[in-house]
Every structure is written in C-alpha cells, then in structure tokens.
Amino acid sequence: MEKIRLALVEDDPEVRALLHAYLCQQPELDCVIVAGSAEDFLQQLTEVRVGPQVVLLDVQLPGLSGIEALPLIRQRLPEADVLMQTVFDDADTIFQALRQGATGYVLKSAALTEYKAAVLDVARGGAPMSPAVARKVLAHFKPLPQTQPGLLTEREQAVVQGIVDGLGDKQVAHRLGLSAETVRTYVKRVYKKLQVSSRTELVSRVVRGN
Amino acid sequence: MEKIRLALVEDDPEVRALLHAYLCQQPELDCVIVAGSAEDFLQQLTEVRVGPQVVLLDVQLPGLSGIEALPLIRQRLPEADVLMQTVFDDADTIFQALRQGATGYVLKSAALTEYKAAVLDVARGGAPMSPAVARKVLAHFKPLPQTQPGLLTEREQAVVQGIVDGLGDKQVAHRLGLSAETVRTYVKRVYKKLQVSSRTELVSRVVRGN
DNA sequence: GGTGTTGTACCGCATTTCGGGGACGCATCA
DNA sequence: TGATGCGTCCCCGAAATGCGGTACAACACC
C-alpha cells in the first residue's frame, strides 16, 4: 500500500504544527507540502516533482480564502481531492465549497483521528461531510419531481407563474381574479408541495430546471 | 422529546420481525406501520390517522420495488423522510433512489444499532449514505452560472448570487461576512440599477438572462 | 359515508422586505 | 478640491411575506 501524499494548508502555526506532527507520523500518510496560506501552497506546488493526492485546505485563510483558492488548486491539481476544514459547521459555506469542487470537509473541532479518517476516506473515494450538508446536497440535485406531473394543480401553477413573473400576491390575485388571501393559501400549499420556504427559493427552483 | 414515528417496509418476515422487535423497543422510536410490501404499506397508510415521519424502505420488494414506490410514498407523505435499505452496496441503485427523493440509506449488513443511528440521523436532518454514493452525488455538481458583468460591482454580484440561491439578507450577510444592513444597502442599489422592486423580479431577471 | 383533494376565502402574529433616509472612509476623476 | 462611486454600517416605518390556523362547497375515490 502506497502512502497517500498529503498537503496541509493552514494559517494557524499551532494547528498546523499539530496536524503536521500527527498526520505525517501516520504510516499511511506522507506530507509533501505544508503551507500557511493558499499563495504559499501554490508557490510550493511549483517546486515539488510529484503533487499531493489530497489537499487539506482551511476555509478561513489570510489573503486568498480557501474557497477562492479552490478553483485555482483544482486547476493545478485536477487529480487531487480537496478536503476543506472549517471552524464553523456552516452548511452554506461548505455547500459553496462543494460546488467549487471540494470533495468533503472536516470540522476543526474534530479529533486528530477524525482528521486521519477523513483523509483516508477521501483517498478511498469517499466524501466525508456532515449530516446537514449531506442533506443540503441531496436537496440540490434531487430536483423534486414537480412541474411536469400533476403535482401542482392548474391554479397552483398559475399562481406560481405569477410569482415567477415577479408579481406580488395582490397582483397575482388581480391577474387571476381572486382574493389576495386566496393567493396566499395557494402559495402556502405550493411551498409545502415543493418543500421550499420563500419566494426566492421557489423562483430559483422553478426557473432553473426544477 | 417526542418519539419518532417510524414505518417499516420489508418483505423478509425474519428480518422484518427482527427490525420490528429491536427498533420498536427503542424509547426514541414508535413503529406506526410495519408492512411486507409497498402496496401493503400504502394500504396501511390510509388506515392510520397520523403518518410516519421516517420510512425505512427496502429496495428489493415483491411487486412494486422500493424505488418504484418511492415517488408514490413521497407524494403521500411529503413531510416524511425515506430511508432506503439494500443488500447490495450498489452505488448506482442507491443513486437512483436518492434522485427519486430518498434521504439516505442503510446497508442490510448493518448492525441493528446502525439502523437506529441512521433513523435518528435522518430525523435530525441528516442524510446517511455511504462514501461511494456521497462521492457520486458530489460529482453531479456544476459550477454556478455567472451573471454578465459591467453594470454591477463584484460585491453587488455576490449579493445577487446569494439572493438567486434563495437566501435571505441575513444568510447572504453571513455568507459574505457582512452586516445584514450592508446587504440591504447593496440590494437597494441593485434594485435601482436593474430597475426592479422585489427579490422575485430580480431573480427572474437574472436567471433568465436580463 | 368517510376521507382526501382542490378551490375559495379569512384571521392573527412574527419576521422580512422595501423604500426612504443618514453616515463615514477611501478611492478616483475632474 | 470637490464630486462621484464604492464599501461599509445604521434607523425608521409601511408593506409584504411566512406560518399557523379555520371554514366550507364540490368532487372523487373507496
């Protein structure tokens, strides 16, 4: 079994030293790069002959943030997997990172053994992430079977159309010759059916391909 | 803490009995339905007053398969989470199930405690799934489409992106590390620049192509 | 004959959004 | 040097929205 070539990008010197000491002593791992910033990492990348297979990248970094650096790194290392690490269990940030091509993430509160597990997981083809993020991810690409089938009734679709056109409840009501209160009822029903909780969500879901 | 209402759909009588015995004896769980087939389950569903919050659904079922039944179940129980269980760690099958709206899955080789953990995970908003599947899911991600530049500043575009993603001001503020008030300022400016007067107008304008 | 779904309409309450402001610092440009 | 644009933050008040209900008639499916 070959060692997994690992890169560490972490600005906090203490954390960096700790991770470095622990991870690099693991028999399965081989730290090829240890950097304090994204810029530093990209620089060092040009100096090594063989790049890392896994990059452990902090989200909060001075200069280029982890998320900003992600596309650059992936451009340089298309074959590598990037594992984000963050202090906050912030689903939205992580989600953005995943969209940029991260393969998973670890919370900084994680134990060292968890770090190791995550790295190995990624290297084995996994994608470590927290429950909340996983759910978010599913919801995204699982674009609910609506619009086409009779999920929404005619009236409901008409209301949705109005909303997508940028109208308010009153305007929709006027367009359809209904009471504004009735429109509100429809909107609420549609929200439930499509599992959204705001107009903006509704519109973006409908206007993108569901 | 209320009990999680659970439904069990499993054709093998032995496995069913085992799961039933174990899960229903858990203090956190309450089995409201135990069925041997999807048809059976849907039938029983009409007979209970309050439906399950989590459905543990076998993929391999006589008659309607789990995957075929999924859309029907989700139509009936839009609020419920469906947890698939399968013998094979077949990423492709599971992937399909997830697209149909499953919230996660358990391998049948899992220990009873893992079953329980998965159910609780789902009920807590998680999405239990295997590494391989998670990775497959991530692979289906594309970078976001960019809005055309010129008129809006970077910051303004970032705010718009958040709005298009269905976020509220606070969420956008958090994503960008700003005050919600600042986000409001941007939103107002964007409204002026694009001559719109509501989020929905903004979103439909941007997503269409101006 | 019950149960569910749809269409219609209403109420109340908490939060968000919208449209006006003002304010400060820092650029750049005239 | 003053004007203008941009980034950041704040306040107020009115309107819209989100979320929880209730209500009833019509119809349909069992």
Asked whether the CA dihedral A40, A43, A49, A52 is positive or negative, the reply is: positive
> How far in angstroms lies nucleotide D27's C1' from the CA of residue B104?
38
Distance B110 CA to D5 C1' (A): 61
Q: Which fold has domain A154-207?
A: Arc Repressor Mutant, subunit A (1.10.10)
Q: How far apart are CA B158 and CA B175, in angstroms?
A: 9
Question: Where does chain A have alpha helices with state H?
Answer: 13-25, 38-45, 66-76, 91-99, 112-123, 131-141, 154-164, 169-176, 180-194, 199-207
pLDDT band per the 50, 70, 90 thresholds, residue B148: low
Q: Quote the percentage of chain A above a pLDDT of 70.
A: 93
- Cβ distance A118 to A129 under 8 Å? no
Quote the CA–CA distance of B54 and B105 in Å, as a whole number. 12
A121 touches chain B (CB under 8 A): yes
Residue B142 reports pLDDT greater than 50: yes
Q: Would an 8 Å CB–CB cutoff place A137 in contact with chain B?
A: yes
Please tell me the predicted confidence (pLDDT) of residue B149: 56
Q: Say yes or no for a CB contact (<8 Å) between A90 and B174.
A: yes
Q: Which residue of B has its CA nearest to A208?
A: B207
Question: Which residues in chain A are classed under CATH 1.10.10.10?
Answer: 154-207
Closest by CA position to B152, among listed B161, B139, B143 = B161
**Any strand D atom closer than 7 Å to B154 CB:** yes
* Distance in angstroms (rounded) separating the CA atoms of residues B123 and B149: 43
User: pLDDT at residue A68 above 90?
Assistant: no
Distance A180 CA to D15 C1' (A): 14
Q: Which nt is closest to the CA of B49, judged by C1'?
A: C3
| Predicted local confidence at residue A145, as pLDDT | 46
CA of A188 to C1' of D21 (A): 12
The per-residue pLDDT for range B178-201, each reduced to its tens digit, is 999 999 999 999 998 888 989 999
Share of chain B above pLDDT 90, in %: 31
Who contacts B89 (Cβ-Cβ below 8 Å, separation ≥6)?
B107, B130, B132
How would residue A150 be classed by pLDDT, with cut points 50, 70 and 90?
low
Which residues in chain A touch residue B208, judged by CB atoms under 8 angstroms apart? Answer: 207
State the pLDDT at residue A146: 43
The one-letter amino acid code at A54 reads: V
- Summarised one tens digit per residue, pLDDT across range A85-127 is 988 777 778 878 888 889 888 888 888 998 998 999 899 888 8
Task: For residue A30, give both structure tokens.
Answer: 């081989």
**CATH code that applies to domain B4-140:** 3.40.50.2300
Interface touch B101/A144, C-beta < 8 Å: yes
Query: In whole angstroms, what separates CA A156 from the centre of its chain?
Result: 32
Nearest Cα neighbor of B177 from B199, B162, B196 is B162
Contact status of A205 with chain B (Cβ, < 8 Å)? yes
> Which strand (E) or helix (H) includes residue A5?
strand A4-9
- Span B60-67, mean pLDDT? 86
**Which residues fall within 8 angstroms of residue B163, CB to CB, at 6 or more apart?**
A200, B172, B187, B199, B202, B203
Digit-coded pLDDT (tens) for B85-100: 888 777 777 777 887 7
Task: Please judge whether B127 and A134 are an interchain contact, meaning their C-beta atoms are less than 8 angstroms apart.
Answer: yes
Q: Please answer yes or no on whether B199 and A200 come within 8 Å at the CB atom.
A: yes
Three-class secondary structure of residue A33 per DSSP: strand
CB of B76 under 7 A from strand D? no
Chain C bases near protein CB atoms (7 A cut-off): 3-12, 16-23
Distance, CA of B152 to CA of A144 (rounded, Å): 32
Above pLDDT 90, what percent of chain A? 42
Specify the range with the lowest mean pLDDT, choosing from A42-51, A87-96, B18-27, B28-37.
Answer: A87-96
Average pLDDT over all residues of chain B? 84
pLDDT tens digit sequence for A130-144: 777 787 777 766 654
Q: Which regions of chain A carry the CATH code 3.40.50.2300?
A: 4-140
Chain B interface test: which of A137, A156, A192 (most B C-beta within 10 Å):
A137
Is the pLDDT confidence value at B22 over 80?
yes
Q: Identify which has the larger pLDDT, A146 or A139.
A: A139
Mutate which of A121, A159, A203 to test chain B, going by most B C-beta atoms within 10 A? A203
Instruction: Spell out the alpha helix ranges (H) of B38-179.
Output: 38-45, 66-76, 91-100, 112-123, 131-139, 154-164, 169-176
Per-residue exposure over A142-157, b if at least 16 CB sit within 10 Å of its own CB, e if not:
bebbbeeeebbeeebb
Q: Return the residue matching tokens 């206007």.
A: A207
Query: Confidence band (pLDDT; 50, 70, 90) for A21?
Result: very high
